[in-house]
Amino acid sequence: MEARMQNPVAVIPEALSPLLAVAEAARSGGVPQGTMEMVHLRVSQINGCSYCVDGGIKSARKAGVADDKLCTVAAWREAPYFSAEERAALALAEAATRLADRPDAVPDAVWDAAADHFDERQLAALVLMVGLTNLFNRLNATTRQPAGAGW
């Protein structure tokens, strides 16, 4: 697989710093790093972004996420490895990524389950991570950035 062009943030490098600042802010929101990495990974799987799936697995491993979780994050509902908190974060990530799949994009039940486990700052961090991951997925998938490629 070859990229259609350089990564857009390589072409417009002044975009990188603000995006990295949002990522850093999201990671400082009080959600366990492993949970944030699994959210990033799940969103990237949904969007078919090989670049972000590859990077997400590597980042999740660095954050200490066990291989049994990494291997089953796409099937988290059926896998016994995830805590209730992680399940709530993954459900929120899926709903916020698949906005057009249902009339109520993020159903109250999904939001309420997440709010049972996370405070407002943590919810904000999760929503920021989902939104930023979707942005990166769209940049990389559109330009066909291959897994393992650098910027």
Is there a domain that residue 23 lies in? no
Is there a domain that residue 2 lies in? no
Is there a domain that residue 127 lies in? yes
Q: Give the pLDDT confidence score for residue 149 in this predicted structure.
A: 65
CATH number at residue 55: 1.20.1290.10
**The overall pTM is greater than 0.75:** yes
Domain count of the chain? Answer: 1
Is there a domain that residue 65 lies in? yes
Is there a domain that residue 14 lies in? no
> Residue 137: phi, psi to the nearest 5?
-60, -40
Tell me which amino acid residue 29 is: G
Is there a domain that residue 12 lies in? no
Domain of residue 127, residue span: 32-142
| Mean pLDDT calculated for residue range 87-95 | 98
Is there a domain that residue 26 lies in? no
Residue 151 has pLDDT above 60, yes or no: no
Q: What is the 3-state secondary structure (H, E, C) of the chain?
A: CCCCCCCHHHHCHHHHHHHHHHHHHHHCCCCCHHHHHHHHHHHHHHHCCHHHHHHHHHHHHHCCCCHHHHHHHHHCCCCCCCCHHHHHHHHHHHHHHCHHHCCCCCCHHHHHHHHHHCCHHHHHHHHHHHHHHHHHHHHHHHCCCCCCCCC
Q: How many CB atoms lie within 10 A of CB 44?
A: 25
- Distance, CA of 111 to CA of 95 (rounded, Å): 9
Q: Give the pLDDT confidence score for residue 47 in this predicted structure.
A: 97
Q: Give the pLDDT confidence score for residue 150 in this predicted structure.
A: 63
Q: Give the pLDDT confidence score for residue 1 in this predicted structure.
A: 75
pLDDT tens string 92-150:
999 999 999 999 999 999 999 999 999 999 999 999 999 999 999 999 999 999 997 66
Alpha carbon separation from 51 to 38, 90, 133, 145 (Å, rounded): 15, 20, 11, 6
Q: Give the pLDDT confidence score for residue 140 in this predicted structure.
A: 95
